[in-house]
Amino acid sequence: MEALSWLMHKYLFHGPLWFIHKTHHQKRSGWFELNDVFSVLFAAIALGLMYAGRQTFGAGFWIGLGISLYGISYFIFHDWFIHNRFKAFKSNNRYLSAIRRAHKAHHKSMHKKPAEGLGLWWVSKKYFRKTQQ
């Protein structure tokens, strides 16, 4: 899911779907942003796949489950830890701090391009350093 998410983020969200995703790069004026429609869309796709595969536990069920688990981890980590939508937890863990630095680097640009740090769970080694170059 991480590789698929990275590809979608780079080529769709920072491509033809930028008009929706750019709301995530702007200062939030309320609790919701237009970018949240992606979460609803992916949840609907995942539930549809799991429902379609419920009888035989076929590939659709497991793909839907994978999308769901990634979505849950994304919501908890990205919205709670990185963007503090809920004041839930803080951490000084080296790995989590690197992810937060990569995401902050991604949000430095308020524009469609250039964009770096497009993944959620995988980040470049450079973000493990305390100071950025």
What are the average pLDDT values for consecutive 10-residue runs of the chain, which has 133 residues? Answer: 86 91 82 89 96 94 95 84 72 83 78 71 80 48
User: ∠ CA 70-73-74 to the nearest 5 degrees?
Assistant: 80
Q: State the pLDDT at residue 99.
A: 82
pLDDT value at position 20? Answer: 93
- Which pLDDT value is given to residue 41? 95
Phi (first) and psi of residue 101, to 5 degrees: -60, -40
pLDDT at 121: 81
Helix (H, G, I), strand (E, B) or coil at 107: helix
User: Is the previous residue joined to 114 through a cis bond, with omega within 30 degrees of 0?
Assistant: yes
Residue 114: predicted pLDDT: 67
